[in-house]
Copies of this chain bind each other. A is one copy, B any other.
Amino acid sequence: MQFSKSTDYALHALAYLAHLNSSEPTGIKQLADVLNVSETYLSKIMTNLRKDGLVNAVPGAKGGYELAREASRISFLDVILALEGRQHLFECSNTTSKQHNMLVQETPASECRIKRVMDSAETQFYEYLSNQSIQSVISQ
């Protein structure tokens, strides 16, 4: 289990935009050059960020990308969810097995303790990442 490279690039791109703090949008060309990634590939990543409302995209000449809100209000979790999607880290696969029936029977709620532990771990993980902003990684 690992974060995808896309998530890595997205974090770097946002950190760069936050660092620049420019009033003009920044083009994919400049962004790709700074991150050392191809323009077309990075553009897909930026589109994901746009779809989740983290950046604004300005088409046309002098266009590019800019943060949709202050860097202090964009969290690591926002970025990760935009790129990795919103499935849970742990998904029940065999909800028809004898084992499942056994473990679920033991609990009042319809959720066994295995799932509860894994989901709690995820919640705590995300909680931490939601408190880390892009602003916090650039120099003050």
Show the binding face of A for B, using Cβ within 8 Å: 1-5, 8-9, 11-12, 15-16, 19, 33-37, 76, 84, 87-94, 96-99, 102-103, 106, 112-114, 117-118, 120-121, 124-125, 128-129, 132, 136-139
Contact = CB atoms under 8 A, between A and B. Distances in A.
Given A1-B84, A121-B125, A8 B90 contact: yes
A2 B15 CA distance: 25
A101 B112 CA distance: 47
Interface secondary structure of A, over-half rule: helix
Contacts of A36: 94, 96-99
A101 to B, nearest CB: 10
A136 B118 CA distance: 13
B136 A99 contact: no
Contact of A98 (B9, B34, B88, B112): B34
